[in-house]
Structures are given as structure tokens and as C-alpha cells.
């Protein structure tokens, strides 16, 4: 171990000890009467304050330090930083929620995201490090000898990284709101400050050392509540060891709920409401006119009978909330009908947790079709996530920062280790959370529900809502809606753990979102300042000017992403998965063919990237319907092969690369 590595080990050992003492002090404070709001602010200020200090201490104007951390990050710490960079809000916040809602189907994310690092280790990381550039477009330009290839690659890197970034900042807003009680929109911009203090001053050097610090927090925040919940439910702090037994118990509880008359009454309510919406949709103009007339009569009735001002205002708000146009009404009622039809199914439309695929391979023709579609979608999603992981610019550039090719290989192995600590835990967590909901939340009187339910429903009713539709005053499972983005964050409160654990989990989620947001911001700003402006517009720009421009673009990008995030876009996991399909189609084929096929040329690379992007985006937009039942989320399963075929065909039909490029490739392969 070098003296630099030994110094890092001492620094982060003291840091881990200090954070442990910080959490214990807050736990003691909670027992002594310290309020939840103070605990939340302490976690927010304490953790972001540490990241800010690291960012300030790591400030630099040197291009090598700013873009690749001076290429001196040891494999162990680069693996930890890559793990934090990788385990975004989608992993920390969304993965357990996806497994909670989807059961077996959610394992596609675990398999795909983890398997992608095997592709990185075998096919890409050593060769990228041997090249030793700053960005992914740097490598593609050098390999194919084309400025056009660089510009297309930079544009695609900006696009997919921005989508990914919006998802992270949305998660930051949720967590900041939970920690402080702020309005969601304000929480987004407060959290944004945490992103900027890590990346603005020191670039990759600051981001690397803050990501190591963030990994320590996020993995502790994930494992501590899981171990505690495991002890509570099964007497073991390692619930992964008895996952099969817990899954069997959960399946038995699911079957009991399906037979419960109260649950059946809830399903009947939604079934009847779906029928009513079907009737409305048969003549939308007449139905909308009837609803407006009924709402107006209700307001007049309340005013005539001298109802209270609050009752009149409520009725007027309901009238004002009606759709304004016929197309709006049709779209709203169609969406509500789909939601009610799903809620009318057993378990609120969620599949049984242990069921591998929908349908039945030995059932009716319709059940066989459902089974085939479900299995195809599972495999397609695994493919897109694996190949997309190996094409993400913000992940691949992490391997430019190691001192050597051998260190880059070891770094990927450490990345897999640190990622698996969380990914092997998420399935057990999802089962324990669902067990907790079934056994301790379902059946609770509506008036006695815990306060956190009301608090989260105020943040966003789409994340959490309770409605006593059968009027019995008791919460049934079908009356509870928990969004996937919320499952991990409410786990401590759901399990009745001390609030300090809730604060720890929120701090861990914040660390995960901040770490990935930092990497994405650097990728976007580097693509704009280095690949587009410096390499294509102003080649003679001094190093310090490049760094200054990158910082300005980083700030502008962060503000733009925060503005989009305040609109509360689609679920985090969906946004991130869309980015993976684009990465799978645009980058992976031209990178792998560029390394292992000498005949690949610039024309082929351009054709591959553009055709892969076009096929993926058009399939996501629904331009061609569904092929073989594959959902738009997995559009990369068509985009990546299209890109590979286009690259090969166009390369064969055009001039081969120069002899100089061939020698360059031979030298690269010595990695």
C-alpha cells in the first residue's frame, strides 16, 4: 500500500468513526426529547457540510485534476466512488420500491444493473484507461478519427445524462422535504446546493472524495434499518439468510388477504367505478355536461340551505377541478379507468411476490400469451440494463481516474463488491416491508393511522394515499397506495424504529442522489465545454479557461435540471431505465466494435449511433406499437442491435480505417 493510500485509509477511518458518533449523539438526543425537525436538519446540515468541506479542500483549476482527478485514485477508493456514483436515487430509493410493487419482476433490475459491471470489466474499462482521455467522446474521436463522431457522442451523452440527472434531483427534493419539512419545490433547490458544493469547485477530484464519503453513509443507511427490521421480524440481523422462509410466509399472507371479504368489498367498489367510467367514455361530451350541471346544482343547493362557508368552498373547488375540455375529460377518465381496473384485481393489481411471470404456461391461450409477454419483457429489461450500464458515460469515465490499467480492472471488481452489498439486501428488504404492511398496517382503524402517512400524503398524494372506499373505518390493503419511490424512505417509520433511523435513511438516500448527480453534472459540463467547445470551436483555449467554462455550464445545467424536477416527472426508476436504453443503443455497440473489430470506421460509427438513437426513441414514443409485447421501457433491446447492424454494414460499404488507426488499435489492445 502506498503512502497516499495509507493516508486515505486513516482519513476515511476517522470519518466513519465520526459519523457513527454523530448518529449515536442524535439517538441520545432523541431519547432526551430532541425534536424530529432538529434531527432532520442535523442530518442535512451535517452531511452536506462534510461534502462541502471536501469540495472546498479539493478545489482546482488544473484540467487533469478537474476532469480525471489527476489519474491517481487507488482501485479500492475508485471502486467505492464508482459504487456511490452508480447507486443513485433509483437504486437507493427506487429499487426496494420496485421489488415491493413488482415482486419477482423487480429482480430484472438487480440482475441487469449488476451484470452490466461484468461487461465493463471484460470489454471496456481496461481499454479506456489505456487510452487515458478525459471523456467518452474523446475515446470515440481518437478511435474513429472523426470530429462528427465526437459531436454526436457528446450530444447523446448530454441528453441521456440530463434525463438521469432530473431523476436524481427529483429524489433529492423528496428527501430534503422529508428531512426538513420544506415545500417540495424549495427542497429541490436546497438539495441542489448540496450537489454544487461537491462538484463546482473541484470537479472530478472533489467528486471522487465526496463519493467515497457518501458511500459510507448510504451503505450504513441501507444496512442498519434492514438489520434492525430483520431482528424484529425474524430474530436475525441478516435477513438475506432466511429470505426463502420469509417469502413463503408472505405468500400465505397474500392468499389470506385475497380471501378477505373486506378486501373483496374494496375490489368491488373499484370494479363498479371502472364500469361507470366506461359508460362515461362512451359519450364524453354528454357525460362532462352532466357532471358540470350536477356540480353547479350542488353549489346552489348548499348556498340555498345556508351551508357553512367551508362546505360551499369545497363544492366550488370540486366544480372547478372538473375537466375543462372534452379531450381532457377523455384522457382523465381513461387514466382513472385503468387505475380502477388495476385496483379491482387481487392485491390491488400487484402480482403475487413469488410469482415468476404473469399468466400460466399451461393455462388458457390468453394466460399463455401473458406468460410469454411477461418473460420476454423480463429478459429484455435485463438486457437493456446490462448493456446500458456498460454504455453510461458517467460510469465509464470513472475508470480514467486510476493510476494504471491493472488498477482499472481491480477497481471494477471493487465496484461490484460495494454494489452487491446493497443489491443483495434490496430483495429481502422489499419482503420485510410488505410483511410489515400486511401484518401491522392493514387492519388499523383509519383514525389511528400513524402520523407519517398524513405527512407524506401532503408532500405528494401520488406517492402515498389512503381512502376508506368501503366505509368500514378500517384500512384494507386495497385502500392503500404507496409509490415505489417512497418504500425505502418510510421503512423505519413503518417498522416503528426511532426517528433517528429515519433521518439516517434520508441522509443515505440524499448521499446516493447527490453522488450520482455530481457525476452526471460533470459528464454534461465536460461534454459541452471539452468535447464541443474546446475540441470543435476553440481548440486553443487555455486549461484554466476550459475549467472555468465547465464550471459555468455545470451551474446552468444544475439549475435547468432542478426546474424540470420541480414538475414531478415520472417515477425515478422509469426515468433512469429510459436513459439506460439510450446508452445501450448509442454507446455500447460502437465502443465494443471499435475496440474489437478493426474494420469499424467513422461512417459506420455515425450510422450506428444515429440509427440506435432513432430506433430507441421512436419505439419509446410508440411510433410502431409494441413488437412481441416488449414495453417501451426496454426499447434498447431493438435500438442496440439496430446500432450494431448499421455500424457493421456501413463500415463494410465504405472505406476502411487508415493504417495509422489500425496501429493505434493494436497498441490499445495491449491492455
Per-residue pLDDT, averaged over 213-233, amounts to: 90
Contact between 349 and 271 (Cβ < 8 Å): no
pLDDT at res. 345: 86
Examine the pLDDT at 600 and tell me if it is beyond 60.
Answer: yes
Residues 6+ apart with CB under 8 A from 194: 48, 51, 52, 172, 510, 514
Distance, in Å, from the CA atom of 466 to the CA atom of 348, rounded to the nearest integer, reads: 13
pLDDT band at 178 (very low <50, low <70, confident <90, very high): low
pLDDT at res. 460: 67
Distance, in Å, from the CA atom of 656 to the CA atom of 186, rounded to the nearest integer, reads: 55
Closest to 495 (Cα-Cα) out of 413, 458, 440, 570: 440
Distance, in Å, from the CA atom of 77 to the CA atom of 236, rounded to the nearest integer, reads: 31
Per-residue pLDDT, averaged over 600-617, amounts to: 94
Per DSSP, which regions of 452-504 are E strands? Answer: 464-466, 480-482
Helix residue ranges, H only, 535-635 = 543-565, 572-586, 588-596, 602-620
Distance, in Å, from the CA atom of 620 to the CA atom of 579, rounded to the nearest integer, reads: 11
pLDDT at res. 78: 92
> What's this model's pTM, rounded to 2 decimal places?
0.85
pLDDT at res. 80: 92
pLDDT digits (tens, 9 = 90+) for 254-270: 888 888 898 899 899 99
Residue 334: CB atoms within 10 Å: 15
- CA distances in angstroms from 67 to 124, 288, 453, 506, listed in the order given: 19, 57, 44, 30
SS (H, E, C) 64-96: HHHHHHHHCCCHHHHHHHHHHHHCCHHHHHHHH
Examine the pLDDT at 487 and tell me if it is beyond 70.
Answer: yes
Write the Ramachandran bin of 103: left for phi over 0, alpha for psi from -120 to 50, otherwise beta: left
**Mean pLDDT of the chain, nearest integer:** 85
pLDDT at res. 572: 56
DSSP string of 206-244? HHHHHHHHHHHHHHHHHHHHHHHHHHHHHS-S-GGGGHH
pLDDT digits (tens, 9 = 90+) for 340-356: 888 888 887 788 888 88
DSSP string of 432-464? HHHHHIIIIITT-BGGG--HHHHHHHHH-TTTE
pLDDT band at 623 (very low <50, low <70, confident <90, very high): confident
pLDDT digits (tens, 9 = 90+) for 408-463: 889 989 998 999 888 889 899 999 989 988 888 888 888 888 888 877 777 667 77
pLDDT at res. 22: 94
- CA distances in angstroms from 239 to 105, 364, 580, listed in the order given: 20, 38, 30
Residue 6: CB atoms within 10 Å: 10
Examine the pLDDT at 152 and tell me if it is beyond 60.
Answer: yes
Domains of the chain (ranges, CATH numbers): 3-234+376-429+499-669 (1.20.1730.10), 261-375 (no CATH)
Which range is most confident: 23-27, 38-42, 47-51, 116-120?
A: 23-27
What are the b/e assignments for 517-543, b being 16+ CB within 10 Å? Answer: bbbbbbbbbbbbbbbbbbbeeeeebee
Mean pLDDT is lowest, of 297-311, 535-549, 573-587, for: 535-549
Cell of 422: 446493497
Examine the pLDDT at 477 and tell me if it is beyond 80.
Answer: yes
Per-residue pLDDT, averaged over 357-361, amounts to: 80
Q: At which residue does the C-alpha cell 465536460 appear? A: 526
Is 545 exposed, middle or buried (CB count within 10 Å of its CB: 0-12, 13-18, 19+)? middle
pLDDT band at 327 (very low <50, low <70, confident <90, very high): confident
pLDDT at res. 207: 86
Higher local confidence (pLDDT), 484 or 500:
500
Mean pLDDT is lowest, of 228-232, 501-505, 530-534, 653-657, for: 530-534
Percent of the chain with pLDDT over 70: 96
pLDDT at res. 103: 86
Amino acid at each position: 500500500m502506498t503512502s497516499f493510500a495509507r493516508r486515505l485509509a486513516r482519513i476515511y477511518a476517522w470519518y466513519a468513526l465520526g459519523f457513527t458518533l454523530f448518529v449515536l449523539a442524535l439517538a441520545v438526543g432523541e431519547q432526551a426529547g430532541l425534536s424530529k425537525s432538529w434531527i432532520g436538519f442535523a442530518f442535512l446540515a451535517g452531511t452536506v457540510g462534510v461534502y462541502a468541506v471536501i469540495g472546498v479542500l479539493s478545489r482546482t483549476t488544473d484540467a487533469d485534476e478537474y476532469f480525471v482527478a489527476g489519474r491517481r485514485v487507488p482501485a479500492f477508493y475508485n471502486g467505492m466512488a464508482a459504487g456511490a456514483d452508480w447507486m443513485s436515487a433509483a437504486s437507493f430509493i427506487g429499487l426496494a420500491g420496485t421489488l415491493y410493487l413488482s415482486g419477482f419482476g423487480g429482480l430484472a433490475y438487480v440482475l441487469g444493473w449488476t451484470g452490466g459491471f461484468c461487461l465493463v470489466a471484460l470489454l471496456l474499462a481496461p481499454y479506456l484507461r489505456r487510452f487515458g482521455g478525459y471523456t467518452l467522446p474523446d475515446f470515440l474521436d481518437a478511435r474513429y478519427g472523426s470530429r462528427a463522431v465526437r459531436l454526436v457522442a457528446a450530444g447523446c451523452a448530454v441528453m441521456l445524462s440530463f434525463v438521469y440527472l432530473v431523476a436524481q434531483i427529483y429524489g433529492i427534493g423528496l428527501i430534503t422535504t422529508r428531512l426538513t419539512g420544506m415545500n417540495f419545490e424549495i427542497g429541490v433547490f436546497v438539495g441542489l446546493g448540496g450537489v454544487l458544493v461537491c462538484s463546482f469547485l473541484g470537479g472530478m477530484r472533489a467528486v471522487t472524495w465526496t463519493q467515497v464519503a457518501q458511500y459510507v453513509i448510504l451503505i450504513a443507511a441501507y444496512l442498519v434499518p434492514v438489520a434492525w427490521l430483520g431482528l424484529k421480524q425474524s430474530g436475525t440481523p441478516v435477513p438475506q439468510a432466511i429470505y426463502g422462509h420469509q417469502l413463503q410466509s408472505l405468500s400465505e399472507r397474500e392468499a389470506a388477504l385475497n380471501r378477505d371479504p373486506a378486501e373483496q368489498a374494496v375490489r368491488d367498489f373499484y370494479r363498479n367505478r371502472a364500469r361507470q367510467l366506461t359508460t362515461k367514455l362512451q359519450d364524453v361530451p354528454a357525460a362532462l355536461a352532466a357532471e358540470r350541471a350536477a356540480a353547479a346544482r350542488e353549489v346552489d343547493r348548499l348556498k340555498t340551505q345556508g351551508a357553512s362557508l367551508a362546505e360551499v368552498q369545497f363544492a366550488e373547488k370540486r366544480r372547478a377541478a372538473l375537466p375543462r375540455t372534452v379531450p381532457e375529460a377523455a384522457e382523465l377518465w381513461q387514466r382513472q379507468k385503468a387505475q380502477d381496473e388495476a385496483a379491482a384485481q387481487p392485491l390491488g393489481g400487484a402480482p403475487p411476490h413469488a410469482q415468476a411471470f404473469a399468466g400460466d404456461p399451461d393455462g388458457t391461450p390468453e394466460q399463455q400469451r401473458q406468460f410469454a409477454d411477461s418473460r420476454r419483457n423480463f429478459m429484455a429489461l435485463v438486457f437493456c440494463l446490462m448493456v446500458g450500464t456498460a454504455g453510461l458515460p458517467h460510469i465509464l469515465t470513472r475508470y480514467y481516474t486510476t493510476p494504471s490499467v491493472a488498477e482499472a480492472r481491480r477497481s471494477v471488481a471493487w465496484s461490484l463488491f460495494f454494489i452487491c452489498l446493497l443489491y443483495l439486501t434490496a430483495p429481502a428488504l422489499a419482503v420485510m416491508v410488505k410483511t410489515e404492511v400486511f401484518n401491522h398496517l392493514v387492519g388499523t382503524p383509519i383514525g389511528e393511522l400513524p402520523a407519517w402517512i398524513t405527512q407524506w400524503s401532503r408532500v405528494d398524494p401520488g406517492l402515498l394515499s389512503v381512502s376508506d372506499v368501503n366505509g368500514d373505518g378500517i384500512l384494507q390493503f386495497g385502500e392503500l397506495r404507496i409509490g415505489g419511490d417512497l418504500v425505502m424512505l418510510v421503512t423505519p417509520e413503518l417498522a416503528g424504529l426511532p426517528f433517528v433511523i429515519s433521518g439516517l435513511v434520508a441522509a443515505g438516500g440524499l448521499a446516493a442522489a447527490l453522488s450520482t448527480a455530481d457525476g452526471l453534472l460533470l459528464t454534461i459540463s465536460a461534454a459541452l465545454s471539452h468535447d464541443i467547445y474546446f475540441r470543435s470551436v476553440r481548440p486553443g483555449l487555455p486549461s484554466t479557461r476550459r475549467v472555468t467554462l465547465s464550471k459555468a455550464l455545470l451551474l446552468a445545467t444544475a439549475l435547468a435540471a432542478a426546474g424540470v424536477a420541480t414538475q414531478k416527472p415520472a417515477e425515478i426508476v422509469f426515468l433512469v431505465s429510459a436513459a439506460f436504453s439510450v446508452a445501450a443503443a448509442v454507446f455500447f455497440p460502437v465502443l465494443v466494435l471499435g475496440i474489437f473489430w478493426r474494420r469499424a470506421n467513422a461512417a459506420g460509427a455515425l450510422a450506428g449511433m444515429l440509427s440506435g438513437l432513432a430506433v430507441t426513441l421512436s419505439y419509446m414514443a410508440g411510433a410502431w406499437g409494441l413488437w412481441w409485447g416488449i414495453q417501451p421501457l426496454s426499447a434498447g433491446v431493438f435500438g442496440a442491435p439496430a446500432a450494431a447492424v448499421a455500424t457493421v454494414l456501413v463500415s463494410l460499404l465504405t472505406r476502411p480505417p487508415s493504417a495509422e488507426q489500425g496501429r493505434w488499435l493494436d497498441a490499445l489492445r495491449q491492455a
